Amino acid sequence: MHFEGTTCMSSLVARAKEFMQKAHASHKRKHGAPYAEHPFAVLKILTDEFEGTVSEKTQVIALLHDTLEMGTEENEIAREFGPEVLGGVKLLTRQKGETFGDYAARLRTAPKEIRLVKAADRLHNLRETLLAGNSAWAFEYAKETRDHILPLVNDPWFLAKLTEAASRIEQSRSALEPELPDR
C-alpha cells in the first residue's frame, strides 16, 4: 500500500509505518477501506494539520496505536520499538472488560502526547463515521466524544476540531430525522 503525500519521516517512523502496514494488512475499516489508512491519517493529523509539534516517539505511537487490539503481541512492539513505545500503545489500547468511561478516565492521567494521539485518532474517526452508513452509531460516537474525549483534551486546536466534527455528525442526524407534526 502506498500513501500519497507522505510527510518526510525519520527512519524510525518509516519502520513503524512498515510494521503497522503488515499488522493491519488483512483488516478493513467499517466502510471497507484498508485499515492501515487510519493510523497513517492519525499521523498526518499530528504532523501536517496540528498546530503544535510532536516527538518522533509520539509519531511511532500514532502509527502503532491500534496494533495491540488487532492482534500484534506486546513483545513484538517492545522488541522493534522499545518499552516506551509499547507503554504508549498500551495506554491507548482499551483493556478487555474496561468501560469507555474507565478507559477515558485512565487516559486523563496519561502524558500529553498520548492524549494528543487519542485526539487525532478520534478526529479521524469522527471524520469517517458517516461513511460506515449508520447514523445512529455515528451520533452515539459524537456523544461519546463530547462526554469522554473532550474533557481529556487540553489543546485548543484539537478541542475546536473535535467539537466541529462532532457537531457535523449531530447536524447531519437532525437533518435526516423527519419532523414530527405538532399535536
Domain ranges of the chain: 11-176
Distance between CA atoms of residues 176 and 44, nearest Å:
31
Q: Which amino acid is at 82?
A: G
| Mean pLDDT over each residue of the chain, to the nearest integer | 90
Q: Per-residue confidence at 32, pLDDT binned at 50, 70, 90?
A: confident
Superfamily of domain 11-176: Hypothetical protein af1432 (1.10.3210.10)
Distance between CA atoms of residues 52 and 60, nearest Å:
17
Q: What is the pTM of this model?
A: 0.89
Which of 86-90, 93-97, 127-131 is predicted with the least confidence, judged by mean pLDDT?
A: 127-131
pLDDT of residue 2: 40
